[in-house]
Each structure stands twice: as structure tokens, then as C-alpha cells.
Structure 1
Amino acid sequence: MTGPGEHNLAVLAERAFERLGDYESLFFEGRWLTSGEIHERSVRVAGGLRAHGVAPGDRVVVMMMNTPEVFVSYRAIWRAGAVVTPVIFLQTAPELRHILTDSGATAAIISAELAGLFGGAAEGLGVTTFVVGDAPAGTTPFADLEGGEPGAIEPRADDDLAALLYTGGTTGRAKGVMLGHRGLWESGHGLSVAARTADTTRSLLPLPLSHAYGLIVTIGALHSDRRPVSVLQRWFEPVGWLTLVAEHRLETSPVVPAMLQLLLAQPLAEYDLSSLRSFGSGGATLPPPVREKVEEVFGVTVLEGYGCTEASAVISVETVTDHRPGSVGKPLPHAEVAILDPDGNPVPAGEDGEICVRGPGVMLGYWRDRELTARTVRDGWLHTGDLGRLDDDGFLHVVDRMKDLIIRGGFNVYPRDVEDVLLEHPAVQVAACVGKPDQERGEEVVAAVQLAPGQEATGADLVEFARARMARYKYPREVVVLDAVPLTSVGKINRKAVRTLFTN
């Protein structure tokens, strides 16, 4: 421990309750919960975790669909000095077992409907399991955690581990990313300060809370200087989203681009969405045609952001008072951004290079992998693997993932450029471009698309559409039309799955 721990997330939650008081703060499936109820439950659950043997530094898996108990669990785990280890509920059994084994988790809090999956994956690992809902034999009801003595806040240093988040694993085995109390505190604070410019307090939360993006949104709310009100969806579903916005007069919602594309396909005129003022879009790059249509149809400002798990989820965001379409905003105060060439030298404003970041939000390292940590964080700079540029005014522009770059006959092709053109076609709702191995050119440009409801277009039509609008080396030589473009569990395009369409 190397400090007084003034950024302890349990202290942050305690002070938020003291500052804002008791009020109706969270609506979920027909019922309002007060901030006092959530706080009181978390204090009792912290005591219950300790009574069941959870010690400071222990990893506690949280694997639930979105429910109020996720908020309660996060705060309770931090209060007990343990480490939140979120696991998204769409994991397969082998993926889940890898996380449980690799993290050495001693306890888990899960939803009842996931008990079968979890029990099979955790067999023989000795994980104490607490179940929200009907608890099967061999597990402990979550309610039992709330029946004991309240738990005091366990002291933690700023650089003590607060969360262990596993990357999605779409490019290989999921890796544990170690995030400290201060890093998450600073990242949440930066997000909160930026959000204040939007002057909104009523939000709809459709994102999986067991993910870096959802986690940082909850921490950001603990920094609020006003009483934030949230409506929680168990999982994103567009009709339910629209219904909740209209019913509760919600003003904003953090989303990923795929959610916006699904919302645009709905009969929006049937809902009163006049209360909406902004969207916070992150998790993936938002194609400009989609942004323009969202702002036009919903009458809102779309505020884009950028981050990665290794940088405590958020690096830059647009604000209502300082935004530039096509960018992902300016870096937040806790994140210093540099654009570096392959030799590690800064490039001039307006030129592309690798986005690198340093500051308190940078991860403590990869769990039990010093070699990978040393390759990824060099001289204090986190190398994100993303290509981007800073303009003359300091706005950050994300070009693409370096690993997704397609090299066709020696020419660089960025998938995002191809996708943006395909999305200009009125029939296309979602587009995903990848490289296909090619003996003559190294890689060939190909794409998969999902059409908007009621629209028609063939792959050949779309190839010609792109060919007329792009340089000869860039346009896709093959486009396949799918019922649904594959997405990851958090709504990003699953390029690994798309590639298999062209290589199998």
C-alpha cells in the first residue's frame, strides 16, 4: 500500500449518499428504489461477505443480468476491501471457467437463471456462490448476506486493486486487466464533470453493468453534484427502451452504436421522445451517417467518447459545450494523450499514429502477465493499438484498430472508411468490413451488411455502390447480406465472426 487511500471507491459511495441524501434514484421493472435503500443494503452485504470469509484483496465475481443488486454488490465488495470481477452473462462455460481459474476468485454473486451455467463452470474450484433469486442446493441466497451486521469500510490504498476486468476474448484468451481505486475514481470523476455540461439528470441505462463501460457509468454517477435518476433495463431491447423513455421522461442514455442503429429501425413516431436531449455513444466508433441521422430523427446531440478497459474505460469525451462531429472529444484531465509513430516518436497534429495514453487511469497491468504488461505499457505510456490523430484544436479522432487494418496489394485500407460508404446506401443498417486472405494481393477487402427493415439490395448492388464512391484499391470486392451482422456481447461488431464467413 502506497498512500492514504483518499480515492477509495467505498468512501466515494459513502460520501455520495451523505451529500445527496435519500431519494428515489433507481427504477427497475415496476419499482422505485431509493438511494438510502441501495446504500443500506450495500453496507449489510459488505458485512455478510466478511462473515462468509471474503477478505480484502479477494476477487469476487459479479455475473448478473442488469438488476439493482449489481449496484449493491459493487459497493459492498469495495466496502469489504475485495476486488470486483465483472463477468458478462453471455459467457460460454469454457470462457467462464478460464476467468474463474485465472482470477482465483473465492466468491461469486450471480443471477438465479445463470446458476446452472455457473455451477458447471465452477465445479471443483471451491467458489462460494451467492444467488440473487431462488438459490439451488450448494449455494447461498443473496438475501442471507443482508441479514448480518453492517460492514465498515476497509481501508484501501489508491493503487490497491479495485476491479479485475477480463477483455472480451474475441482475439484470443480473455486477459485480466487490473484497475486500481484511484484510476477508476479519476476516470469516473472526469466523466461526471463532462456530463454536467449536458444538464441532464434522468438517464436510461441499457448497457451491461458487468462491463467496463457500464462500470464507469455507475462510478461517474457517484461523483454527481445533483441527484441522478436512473431507469435500468435488464438488457437492451429497443421497444422497451422507447417505452421507458416516454413513460419516465428520460433525458439521456449511454449507448453503443449498434443500439442506435436498432433504435432507428423502430416506429419512432409512435412514442413521445421529446424529453430526450442527448446520447452518450461509446464502446465502438459511431459511423458519421448514423450520427447525423440520429441527431436529425431524435432531435438530440450525440456526444461521442473513447476509451478502453486498460485505461479505466474512458479517455476522451465530447461535451455539449465543446464537441466536434467526427471526433471523440478532447482527452479528459486525467488522461494525457499522444499520437506516436512506430518508433515511439510524436507525430504532428493532423497526422495518423498510434493513440497512446498515460495518467492515473492507466491499468496497474495485466493479471499475472508481466511480459504482456511490459509490451503494452512502455515508459508510462499505454499503447492502445488504435490508430488516430489529434487535430489543431486538441480533438481526438479515431481512425481504426491497428489489428483491423487491411493491407491490399501494399495499400492500407481502413475498415471504417468502407463501412461509412456502405452506410450511405439507404438500404444498409449495419456494415462490417474485414480483410480476406488473398494469394495475389495479400488481403482482399470484403464486407457483410444487415439491411434496414423493408429494404432490398443485393451484394452486387452494394459492391457497385461502393466502387462508384471509393478509390479502386479500397472498395469491397464482395459483400454478403445477412439477417444480422454478428455482434459481441456488448454490441460491438464481432470482426472475428465476420471473418469466418469468408474463410470457411
Structure 2
Amino acid sequence: MTNLAMNLVNTTELHADRPAIRLGDAVLNYGQFEQATQLVAALFHKHGVGPGDRVALMLPNVPHFALLYYGALRIGAVVVPMNPLLKEREVSYHLSDSGAKLLFVWTGFDQAGEAGAALAGAEAIVVDPATWPGLLAGLAPVAEVIDSAAGDTAVILYTSGTTGKPKGAELTHANIARNVEICADELIFLTEEDVLFGGLPLFHVFGQTASLNASVYAGACLTLLPKFDPQGALETVQRDRVTVFEGVPTMFTVLASYPDRESYDTTSLRVCVSGGAALPVEVLGAFEAAYTCIVLEGYGLSETSPVVAINRLDQRRAGSIGLPVSGVDVRIVDESSVDVAVGDIGELIVRGHNVMKAYWGKPEETEKAIPDGWFRTGDLAKHDEDGFLYIVDRKKDLIIRSGYNVYPREVEEVLYEHPAVAEAAVIGFPHAEFGDEIAAVVALKPGSEVAASELREFVKERLAAYKYPRVVEIVAALPKGATGKILKREITLTTV
């Protein structure tokens, strides 16, 4: 049986009494985890959810995310994970586009969740620890696991190009299951004795595959941290004797320079994994020196389940994203799809068991991304004589702030909604703490007046907190090319 939920069933048979998920002092063992997902499956059935139906989860890193995730997979439903910071209009778009009939939203985020669900004509259920037992009371556990086919969609992860609205990458049960096996068995060698740091967002592909699903597959324990901060992370590592730390570069940057780091016992760490953005070589060196633990940098995307390449414990090079994982082929090609020479720069393209099924409901976008079986990443890369890969530049215009992808077009569209704005361009600039920071450069309509701070607040009210521009500059005109297209590369910020 291919259904990803079988990993939980199989692990429970072997390790029912071992800790599965921890949040602070609260611990759920595998037997309790499995029993809870059977009740959650019944809850989905109660609300009319069946195989192929989409259900959305808008929760932070709490055990309930895992229960809902595996409960949905168990009955053959498709999970649509969503950032709990999304605002009403964003929630509505995700639900409408995916056709999700049901949204589970964590308490505290329910205002935007319920409002967005109402706009999309979906039902919203607020998840609150106080009322959660009542939702499951009186339900008959669903022990059966639907026999999903390998090519059936398990998860729809929303991602964007630099144009248009977010697209839903359909990842199949086989896509994720194989990537999980590779993470656990070939890259970080997980066993039931391991404790994984759960600070990566579970709604994101990195946290889902390498943290939640990999730990379930191996019978390891995932200790959750709902919101990352260095003190909380170090306290978690010390308290729970974390052995595997997975994070984005900003986490490693903050921890490497955290002044009180020597007050914590982090000797349990055996390996760290970095992804989500490029890890500066100096940060890698500083972190390894501070914590005496190897950091393996890797590379992946939502569309590739996500792991494409990674450094290995016995094969690694600073500044590289490592070597392709088993069963995944990569090429670096020029604009004619001809392979470039060693050391030359081209686009990284990927083929293998990890490549998504399609963009949900967007056949033309799918054909553009995978015209010949090779997925076009849009990332510029090079390789050395030993096959190690190096990312040279990111997708055009993409901003990665604290590990979150911010797509300028989405922010620009909101700016254009302001009645005073004539033109807008959103760009990123380097930031020591966040990796990238967001700036908006705006030209106003004739006779209009508006303060930069007002424009910043205008966007802040309409988009998730990590997306709004911290810097807004108002200019007379934006630089343009012969066709009238705004030339972002010619924009110079004056206040940073």
C-alpha cells in the first residue's frame, strides 16, 4: 500500500510506547498518535470528506497539525497546508483555488481563517486545545487506511512564480514517501533513538518531509517549537537531547552568534541540516565551531518534494548544495537546453521520483515547468568536476526572508490597489538577520500625496507579516526599458 499514512501504522506496530511528538512537557507516544488520527479520520467523515477531497490546515507547529495531516491522508483526502499568518484574502484564494471544502484553523488565527473560508464558501473549524476533545467525542475510530495509488495526490503545496498568483504543487504519496525514505535512511540515518528539532514550519515542504514525515517513518521523536527564537531553540535542544537540528540559514546565523549559547548543553547534536536558502560559508563555519556539529546544506523546492541534492556526512563542500540524491537526475543547461561545461553557469533542471505531478488545475503552467520530463527550477547553478552543485543565483526577483518565499508580484499587486500609486516595484536587499529584506519603490499618480509609512501599513493590513515591505521609497519615476517594462536591476535604494 502506497498511502503515506501507512508509515504511522507500521511505526506504531513497532514502537507504540515510544515518544512521537513533543511540545514542551506534553508528549504523545506513537500509540496515542495513531489512535488520535483514527478519531480525526472519523471527524473528517462526519463533515463529508472522502478520498480526493481537499482539506486545508492553517496551524502553527502544534501536535494537532500532525493529527489532522495523518487523519486526512488515512481516508485518502488531499492536505492543503497553509501558513497561519495568511490574511483573509489569501485564505480565500487558497481555499477557492484548491476547492478545499473544509479548513481547520488554529485558535488565535481564526478571524482571518473564518473570514477567508466564508468568502470561499468553505467550512471553518477552529482548533483550540480546550475544545479539541469535544470535537472527537463520541466518534468511532476509523482503523482502515485507504489504499491510495502511488500517483494519487497527497498534498497540494502553494508556491508562486514571479508572475501571477500562487500555484498549487501536487505532490503524490509516492513523491513524498520516497523523499522521506531518502532523508531518513540515506542522508541523516534516522533511528527510533533520534530526537528531531521541530522548528521548521510544518506547513512548509521542508518541515513536512524532513521533520514530521521522516520522524514518523523512522519512529523518532519530533519536538516542536511553534515560533523560533534562539533561547527557545537552545532550551529545546538541551531539555529534549535533540540529535538532529534542521533549519533555515537565518536560524543558523542567529544561533552562531547568540551570546548566551555556551550556557546550554548542546552536546546531544550529531547532525544539522540547512535548506530553504543559500547558507553563507562564514555562517556554516561559525556555527560548526560554536556547536561542534556538522551542518549539511541541501537544496530543494516545493515542486520536488523537496530534496534534490544535499551534502553527505562523508562527502561535503562548503558553499555547495552537495550531490543529487538517489533516483534524482540533474542537469545544468543553457537557454537551448544544452548541457553547459563544468564550471559554467546555467539553469538547474531536475528529473526523478521527487518531481511533482502537476500544478493543480493549471495544465499550461505545468507544461511550461516540465516540458519534457525535466522540471525547470529557474535557479542558476554550476557544478564542479566531481559533480558538486553550487547555486549561483535564485529565481529572478524571488525574495527569501527568514526562509519564507516572498514573491514581488503579489506585493506589487497590493500596492497597485492604493489609489495614490501609479507604479510599484518590489525588490529584496541583503539583511544580516533575515537573509533578505523587502523594499518597495513607488511612483505616485499626478497630484497624489501619501506617506511611505501609510503605504507600508496598507500592505501590512492585507498580506502576511513576513511579506510587507519594511522599506518604502517614493520616487518621481521608475527606470524602464524600451518596451516600458520596469527595470528592477537599475533601481537603487537611497535609505539602505
Band of TM-score, shorter chain: 0.7 to 0.9
Instruction: Give, in whole Å, the separation in 2 of the partners of 1:120 and 1:43.
Output: 29
AA aligned to 2:244 is T
8 Å Cα contact 1:48/1:149 also seen in 2: no
Q: How does 1:251-290 map to 2 (within 5 A)?
A: 251-266=243-258, 267-290=260-283
8 Å Cα contact 1:303/1:323 also seen in 2: yes
Counterpart residue number, 1:148? 139
8 Å Cα contact 1:48/1:146 also seen in 2: no
Counterpart residue number, 2:174? 182
User: For 1:229-276, what per-residue CA distance to the aligned partner results, in whole angstroms no more than 9, with x for missing partners?
Assistant: 221111111111111112222222110001111223322122222222
How has the CA–CA distance of structure 1 residues 235 and 276 changed in structure 2, closer, same or farther, with 3 Å as cutoff?
Answer: same
Instruction: Give, in whole Å, the separation in 1 of the partners of 2:133 and 2:99.
Output: 21
Instruction: Give, in whole Å, the separation in 1 of the partners of 2:112 and 2:93.
Output: 13
Secondary structure of the equivalent of 1:315? strand
Q: Quick check: 1:381 aligned with 2:374?
A: yes
User: For 1:7-37, what per-residue CA distance to the aligned partner results, in whole angstroms no more than 9, with x for missing partners?
Assistant: 2112222122223332123221221211111
Counterpart residue number, 1:393? 386
Counterpart residue number, 1:408? none
Instruction: Give, in whole Å, the separation in 2 of the partners of 1:186 and 1:451.
Output: 34
8 Å Cα contact 2:348/2:378 also seen in 1: yes
How has the CA–CA distance of structure 1 residues 100 and 503 changed in structure 2, closer, same or farther, with 3 Å as cutoff?
Answer: farther
User: For 1:82-103, what per-residue CA distance to the aligned partner results, in whole angstroms no more than 9, with x for missing partners?
Assistant: 0010001111221111111111
Instruction: Give, in whole Å, the separation in 1 of the partners of 2:375 and 2:88.
Output: 31
Q: Quick check: 1:342 aligned with 2:362?
A: no
Counterpart of 1:16 (choices 2, 7, 11) is 11
Q: Quick check: 1:77 aligned with 2:72?
A: yes
Counterpart of 1:304 (choices 286, 297, 312) is 297
Gaps spanning 5+ residues in structure 2: where?
401-405, 409-424, 435-459, 474-491
Counterpart residue number, 1:133? 128
Counterpart of 2:321 (choices 322, 328, 339) is 328
Q: Quick check: 1:318 aligned with 2:318?
A: no
After TM superposition, give the deviation of residue 141 of structure 1 in Å.
5.0
After TM superposition, give the deviation of residue 195 of structure 1 in Å.
3.5
8 Å Cα contact 2:169/2:360 also seen in 1: yes
Instruction: Give, in whole Å, the separation in 1 of the partners of 2:16 and 2:270.
Output: 26
8 Å Cα contact 1:130/1:142 also seen in 2: no
Secondary structure of the equivalent of 1:148? coil
How has the CA–CA distance of structure 1 residues 60 and 89 changed in structure 2, closer, same or farther, with 3 Å as cutoff?
Answer: same
How has the CA–CA distance of structure 1 residues 297 and 344 changed in structure 2, closer, same or farther, with 3 Å as cutoff?
Answer: same
Secondary structure of the equivalent of 1:75? helix
AA aligned to 1:121 is G
Counterpart residue number, 2:403? none
Counterpart residue number, 1:481? none
User: For 1:263-294, what per-residue CA distance to the aligned partner results, in whole angstroms no more than 9, with x for missing partners?
Assistant: 23322122222222321100111011111111
8 Å Cα contact 2:349/2:377 also seen in 1: yes
Counterpart residue number, 1:425? none
In the comparison of the two structures, how many residue pairs are matched? 422
How has the CA–CA distance of structure 1 residues 210 and 127 changed in structure 2, closer, same or farther, with 3 Å as cutoff?
Answer: same
AA aligned to 2:231 is V
8 Å Cα contact 2:60/2:201 also seen in 1: yes
Counterpart residue number, 1:237? 229
Greater CA deviation, 295-304 or 169-178? 169-178
After TM superposition, give the deviation of residue 185 of structure 1 in Å.
0.9
Counterpart residue number, 1:60? 55
Greater CA deviation, 44-53 or 166-175? 166-175
How has the CA–CA distance of structure 1 residues 289 and 176 changed in structure 2, closer, same or farther, with 3 Å as cutoff?
Answer: same
CA RMSD for the aligned pairs? 3.0
Instruction: Give, in whole Å, the separation in 2 of the partners of 1:7 and 1:446.
Output: 41
8 Å Cα contact 1:186/1:334 also seen in 2: no
8 Å Cα contact 1:131/1:142 also seen in 2: no
- Alignment TM-score, normalising by the size of structure 1: 0.77
AA aligned to 1:221 is S
8 Å Cα contact 2:184/2:190 also seen in 1: no
- Alignment TM-score, normalising by the size of structure 2: 0.78
8 Å Cα contact 1:132/1:142 also seen in 2: no
Instruction: Give, in whole Å, the separation in 2 of the partners of 1:319 and 1:81.
Output: 34
Identity, % of aligned positions? 32
Q: How does 1:384-423 map to 2 (within 5 A)?
A: 384-404=377-397
Counterpart of 1:7 (choices 2, 16, 20) is 2
After TM superposition, give the deviation of residue 499 of structure 1 in Å.
8.2
